[in-house]
Chains A and B, each alone.
Chain A
Amino acid sequence: MKTAACFAITLLLLVASPVLTSEKAQPNVDNPSNSLVFGYIDMSDAPTKVDGAWLQQVSAPTDASYWSMGVENGLFYNPFIQPGTYQLSKFSGTGVMAGPHEYQFPRQGRNETAVTIDRPGLYFLGSFKYVTAQKGGMFKQGKFSIQPTAEPTEAELLRRMLQDERKVAKSKEYNGPKKIKMSETSWADRIRARLDELE
């Protein structure tokens, strides 16, 4: 009888645990506390293309200090960002000749992309262009900086986002759907409202 009770409890825990875990581990893209952070980087002068960007939370510590974002044709965004102060931490990509590359911003100092999110909303970091500041050698990556550019504009990027379907940008603990179509989320209305403001 005792063995049967133990077995039943173990079974119950096994069945219940994924439910409990998934509830904690799946942030909702439509969560009203989320902010949508986005931007654009022109890497045409860089040794490689980039396919990843990382946003670092520099204040209001959380377990997820780094938030990844996919970069496609320069556009990057993440619709899961919680209140706090952030700035871009690095870009990454791979080139045929250059191999895997990381374009890392120094942690010390405020860079051009720093943003403070005090209430949920849309936050445009800006459009930027990669600039080589100092060439690297065979074993050393060069130093770089980014310069703000007028184009693409915030409105252009928002329109692109509405048509975008991509592998979801996520934090480490994210365990939700692999792809998100922004036009099918609650962000679509907010993006359109912002477009109305801009136009």
Chain B
Amino acid sequence: MRRFWILLALGTSCVVALAGPRKPIRSLDELTANETIVVGRVELVPPLREHDQRLRGPMSGRFADKMLLMVDAERRELTQEPGRGDFKDRIDAHFGEEFVVRSANEPFFITAGMVYLSLGHGLPDQAYFPGGLRADIKPDDRAVYIGTIRYHRNEFFEITRTEIVDEYQRVNVEFKDRFGDTYPLRKALLTPAR
């Protein structure tokens, strides 16, 4: 039976893993003509405690201290537990660190966020976070800063507040240090999707 749980957990993590996150970008050479760099960050207040995530099994470590942001070109609302299709396009955001990923030169929507709380200990267990956010990417953008999504939670992982925090000054300096002045980082903070 224990093997069954491990396989189930592995299967679930594979479903998400197979869908594949947006790739982080390391060099401007990786950017194609119709792509832009998207820079942002996710924070959880209070942050995850040591025992909040119980991840066991091969490959489960990739979800440690991360939120999986479900991304879509169309605005939509999740009305039921997300399935594989919802993770087809996603950003794996390490809490408290900037993500720097490639994106098509078009607006996108953050549908929801998910954090694995338990894998490999019985049924997988997740916490979901509200989305409903729009990233305003323009056709001629090459680098866009979308801000920090700061989720406030209580001890039951209920989301009490979501804010978009502007840390452009700091991030822009870091961006220039890393990628130079070739592409200016345009500030376009996430806005509520309408």
Contacts and interface: CB of A to CB of B under 8 A. Distances in A.
Interface of A: 58-59, 61, 65, 85, 87, 90, 99-100, 102, 104, 106-110, 114, 139, 141
Given A106-B125, A107-B125, A108-B127, A59 B157 contact: no
B156 A110 contact: yes
A169 to B, nearest CB: 19
Contacts, number: 40
Contact of A104 (B51, B123, B127): B123
B156 A58 contact: yes
A141 B49 CA distance: 28
A100 B1 contact: yes
Given A99-B1, A100-B1, A107-B118, A59 B155 contact: yes
Nearest to B11: A139
A139 B126 CA distance: 20
B131 to A, nearest CB: 15
A173 to B, nearest CB: 14
B51 A108 contact: no
A108 B156 contact: yes
A90 B117 CA distance: 14
B24 to A, nearest CB: 28
B122 A102 contact: yes
Contacts of A90: 122
Interface in B1-22: 1, 4, 8
Query: Which of A102, A106, A108, A110 gathers most chain B CB within 10 Å?
Result: A108
B155 A65 contact: no
A158 to B, nearest CB: 28
A127 to B, nearest CB: 22
In the complex, the 4 A-B pairs of residues with the closest C-beta atoms, listed nearest first: A59-B155, A65-B51, A108-B157, A108-B127
Interface size on B, as a range, is 10 to 19
A59 B51 CA distance: 11
Interface of B: 1, 4, 8, 49-51, 117-118, 122-123, 125-128, 155-158
Nearest to A56: B51
Contacts of A141: 123
Given A85-B155, A107-B117, 11 more contacts: A58-B156, A61-B51, A102-B122, A104-B123, A108-B128, A108-B158, A109-B156, A110-B158, A139-B4, A139-B8, A141-B123
Contact of A109 (B8, B118, B157): B157
A181 B117 CA distance: 36
B122 A109 contact: no
B127 A61 contact: no
Contacts of B8: 139
A58 B52 CA distance: 9
Contacts of A110: 156, 158
Contact of B49 (A61, A102, A139): A61
